Chain A
Amino acid sequence: GAVVSQHPSRVICKSGTSVKIECRSLDFQATTMFWYRQFPKQSLMLMATSNEGSKATYEQGVEKDKFLINHASLTLSTLTVTSAHPEDSSFYICSASSGGTGNTIYFGEGSWLTVV
């Protein structure tokens, strides 16, 4: 079946630095990818919708200058957390849509970000 892979699975960075998380669709082309943030014991919060070759659409309250999303190809989207702060520490999950009438969305394994 379809597989979405995220890298890195865990990352620790210092406050003020930037960190990039990659999301790849391994066996299908994903015109749309989604980035979510999950706080402990809470649901997933959609951060942005990423469309290949165009700017991402951010949800209300998400800082687009802080969470940079690039969807340069049909199999790769990246999320860059810029000038990271401890409150950015979270579990980030991407998902990709294979499109079509099935509209099934596949999720990556998630990336744990810890900002120290």
Chain B
Amino acid sequence: GNSVTQMEGPVTLSEEAFLTINCTYTATGYPSLFWYVQYPGEGLQLLLKATKADDKGSNKGFEATYRKETTSFHLEKGSVQVSDSAVYFCALSVKSGGSNYKLTFGKGTLLTVNP
């Protein structure tokens, strides 16, 4: 089956620190990989994605590279800000019958950035 394992939090950093949230996956087929962010009291927003091996997704200073050999998609940011405090979900999608794509999520990692 499909599964996503991501680093358990919570993660607490000071502003301008370097962030890494690890994510590994198992999948049947060739998945697309995603990072979603959920700010307090809000729904999920797509942060970045990668659809094939060695692709690098990037957005708002965050990056993640699709590593097929290690089945990983680690999220990184060089200098975090207080506004980055949120829950981050790693996810994969594979085709699930016809043209449907089903998302499988990791458990989420709560990031708190202190001033």
Contact = CB atoms under 8 A, between A and B. Distances in A.
Interface of A: 6, 31-32, 34, 41-44, 46, 49, 51, 93, 95, 97, 99, 102-110
B49 interface: yes
B107 interface: yes
Nearest to A108: B43
Q: Which of A31, A44, A109, A110 has the most CB of B within 10 A?
A: A44
B19 interface: no
B89 interface: yes
Interface string B29-68: 0001010100000111110010100000000000000000
Contact of A105 (B51, B101, B107, B108): B101
A43 B105 contact: yes
Interface in B65-95: 89, 93
Contact of A103 (B32, B36, B45): B32
Interface residues of B, number: 24
A34 B103 contact: yes
A104 B45 contact: no
A107 B106 contact: no
Across the A-B interface, give the 4 residue pairs with the lowest CB-CB distance, nearest first.
Answer: A110-B43, A109-B43, A107-B44, A43-B107
Contact of B101 (A103, A106, A109): A103
Q: Which of B34, B100, B106, B110 has the most CB of A within 10 A?
A: B100
24 contacts: A31-B99, A32-B99, A32-B100, A41-B108, A41-B110, A42-B107, A43-B106, A44-B89, A46-B104, A49-B100, A49-B102, A93-B43, A93-B44, A97-B101, A99-B99, A103-B93, A103-B101, A105-B93, A106-B46, A107-B36, A108-B43, A109-B42, A110-B43, A110-B44
Contacts of A44: 44, 89, 105
